[in-house]
Amino acid sequence: MKRTIIFVTCALCLVACNNKPKEIQYNVDRFYDLEVLRYDVPDFDQLTLQQKTLIYYLTEAALQGRDILYDQNCRYNLAIRRTLESIYCNYPDKQDEQYLLMEKYLKRVWFSNGIHHHYSEDKFLPEFSEEWFRSAWQYADKQQTQLSDSDLETLIPVMFDPAVLNKKVNQASGVDLLLTSACNYYQDVTQAEAEAYYKAHRDNSAEPLWNGLNAQLVKRNGVLEERTYKVGGLYSDALEKVVYWLEKAKGVAENEQQQSVIQKLIDFNLTGDLKTFNEYAIAWVKDLDSRVDFVNGFTEVYGDPLGITGAWESMVNFKNLEATKRTKCLADNAQWFEDNSPTDPAYKKGEVKGVSAKVINAAILGGDCYPSTPIGINLPNANWIRKEYGSKSVTIENITDAYAKAAEGNGFNEEFMYSEEEVKLYRKYGVLTDNCHTDLHECLGHGSGKLLAGVTKDDLKEHGSTIEEARADLFGLYYIADPKMVELGILPNKEAYKAEYYKQMMNGAMTQLVRIEPGKDIEEAHMRNRQLIANWVLEHCDEENPEVEWVRKDGKLYLRVNDYEGLRKLYGQLLAIIQQVTSTGDYDMAKELVETYAVKVDPKVHREVLERYQKLDLAPYKGFVNPVYTPVTDVAGNITDIKIDYTEGYAEQHLRYSRDYSPLPTFN
């Protein structure tokens, strides 16, 4: 189903537009529970040639790391992707039913950067038969895939046996999280061994190195050994290319600070030295004046069951000047928010440092940000750097815009919101309050509060991510309803926040379940956090006059918010609890909160939500295709402009990336 075509000004269109408006097709492809969208890059044409060129070089560096994430997600992913792509291109009968099922599976592999669902972490199984795959194997170019016939027997169970490598990141209590996870951050290492190893290597100095951030831990001849991600180490072929494009980018950097950021990142890729990484992260936090910015490297640790090693990701972006006024206003008032939060004064930061917030337009998404991407980022992750130097927080406005445009009129809110009143409220304020909540979450929430002496971010172990996300969400929820938001001119009136309150409760307790298969638990940290908040609130509502309650209307289940101010008080209470858990590193309390409210799903609610959702025929997960950037050169080879094009299709894009940006060997 293709919908929502809008017009943009001709300045953005580059393919022979003849001054006519160009259509951007926002809805690109649809398969399984996934939908592929396109995003617009507004204001790219207003950048200087130097900024455009810088973006172009950085996008090349972003694409060169694509293979790394595939291999990090599972060691067989590159072999499977290459085999399928080769069959996809060479198989003679493109109408064969089995072939079409393979195409669908391959699209899913592209979407997930591997064979496990990008969100549920479960392995998805092919719908085509093993028998067909065995016969199609002959069409896979063995030179291109770097595989021999004997590899077929290795790949078959990995793809077809539901019991083999069935979970990318296991977070279930009571089992060995490493031996039961398919991700490739550890090989032949037990959880106890890895934990002991990293405990022994933990840096307790004032400026600690993040040991393990850029390494795979393996056991060879009974000895644990780190394989460092660097030029000359693991993933060398990809990192060499990244460095090549970073060198080019350095040559057109906007200023000296940005130049030194890029140089530090180059040095880190060359040496793998974590002290250099800290220096890079600090230089990056300090680079506030540049219009163009980027993330490129081993960053978020959600993909590692122990939360130590970073998944490779990249995002190139530039400041959205108009919208940045909004977040700057929040950042300028960061201390006020810290001082007035409902948490125990012992857990507050005396002085909130350098919270810098901006709204950006993404120019390219790469690695763990592609095709599925976050709508806000807050980095760096090292707590001591955040404390000493602050952090950079971004809201990615062109991505949230694309979601909103693609979702216009899809009937979702009408189906799940209690009445026309909530639907209207959300229609009126929803985009603004969603963005505003993201701003609060990213630029104030994650940066708020402090850990007591001796407490580290690792103390909450497997529940750390869920608790941290809940903390940031609750901070945003508590403050979006504060009169201060109207006073600062961020929200237009005292009603608007209700749109966000209703949506968060509905989503956390109900509608996010459309992403979960019947009978399954919630695994992903952000989803756990949202259910934790909603279910805790529901359980702590006033018995006589509940602030929020379940109601049935015309046979359908809804949430009804009776008292928005009361709901805000509950959010404040839970924020105080979650902040205490974080500040004191209270693992037992974190575990109890997560296990009581965040993991298990009410099967009756779940079944009904799925049934109603199915009738709407929507995809619960979205991802994106990137625009294509092409340099225009003069006869001497100098770049005179960078063209941006929005017409590349989904399969087309992935095949091109696999052809032009696939430097790694099949097995690493």
Taken in order 616, 619, 621, 623, the sign of the CA dihedral is: negative
Query: Which C-beta is closer to Zn ion: that of 250 or that of 450?
Result: 450
CA distance 452 to 448: 13
The candidate with the shortest Cα–Cα distance to 38, out of 2, 65, 73, is 2
CA distance 475 to 352: 15
**Pairing relation of β-strands 628-633 and 639-645?**
antiparallel
Helix axes 397-407, 420-439, angle to 10 degrees: 160
Query: Which C-beta is closer to Zn ion: that of 252 or that of 394?
Result: 394
* Angle subtended at Cα 57 by Cα 52 and Cα 59, rounded to the nearest 5 degrees: 90
- Residue 369, SS3? coil
CB of 607 to Zn ion, least distance (A): 30
Q: Tell me the one-letter amino acid at 331.
A: A
- Residue 290, SS3? coil
CB of 341 to Zn ion, least distance (A): 17
Burial of residue 64 (CB within 10 Å: 0-12, 13-18, 19+) is: buried
CB of 441 to Zn ion, least distance (A): 6
CB of 525 to Zn ion, least distance (A): 9
Residue 428, token pair as written in the block:
């009126």
Query: Which C-beta is closer to Zn ion: that of 85 or that of 469?
Result: 469
Query: Which C-beta is closer to Zn ion: that of 194 or that of 472?
Result: 472
Query: Which C-beta is closer to Zn ion: that of 285 or that of 292?
Result: 285
- What Rg do the C-alpha atoms of the chain give, in angstroms? 24
Query: Which C-beta is closer to Zn ion: that of 165 or that of 330?
Result: 330
CB 534 within 8 A of CB 552: no
CB of 529 to Zn ion, least distance (A): 8
CB of 469 to Zn ion, least distance (A): 5
Query: Which C-beta is closer to Zn ion: that of 270 or that of 451?
Result: 451
CA distance 544 to 473: 28
Query: Which C-beta is closer to Zn ion: that of 47 or that of 472?
Result: 472
Query: Which C-beta is closer to Zn ion: that of 434 or that of 469?
Result: 469
The H or E element spanning position 548 is: strand 548-553
Query: Which C-beta is closer to Zn ion: that of 472 or that of 567?
Result: 472
Query: Which C-beta is closer to Zn ion: that of 393 or that of 653?
Result: 393
Q: Tell me the one-letter amino acid at 359.
A: V
CB of 262 to Zn ion, least distance (A): 26
DSSP for 239-256 reads HHHHHHHHHHHHHT-SSH
Q: CB nearest Zn ion: which residue?
A: 472
Residues that bind Zn ion (CB under 5 A): 469, 472
CA distance 506 to 323: 28
Q: What residues pair up with 134 in beta bridges, in sequence order? A: none
CA dist 166 to 25, 76, 183, Å? 36, 13, 10
CB 72 within 8 A of CB 666: no
Query: Which C-beta is closer to Zn ion: that of 213 or that of 472?
Result: 472
CB of 68 to Zn ion, least distance (A): 23
Query: How many residues does the structure list for the chain?
Result: 668
CB of 378 to Zn ion, least distance (A): 6
Q: End-to-end CA distance of the chain, in Å?
A: 40
CA dist 593 to 194, 520, 535, 536, 623, Å? 26, 19, 10, 9, 31
Residue 120, token pair as written in the block:
């549920």
What does the buried/exposed string (b/e) look like for 419-448 if buried means 16 or more CB atoms within 10 Å of the residue's CB? eeebbebbeebbbbbbbbbbbbbbbbbbbb
Identify the residue whose tokens are 């402090």: 450
Query: Which C-beta is closer to Zn ion: that of 472 or that of 561?
Result: 472
CB of 394 to Zn ion, least distance (A): 12
CB of 193 to Zn ion, least distance (A): 30
Query: Which C-beta is closer to Zn ion: that of 311 or that of 425?
Result: 311
Q: Where are the alpha helices (DSSP H) in 300-449?
A: 321-332, 334-340, 383-389, 397-407, 412-416, 420-439
CA distance 313 to 310: 9
Query: Which C-beta is closer to Zn ion: that of 151 or that of 469?
Result: 469
Helix axes 420-439, 497-509, angle to 10 degrees: 90
CB of 436 to Zn ion, least distance (A): 15
CA distance 574 to 578: 6
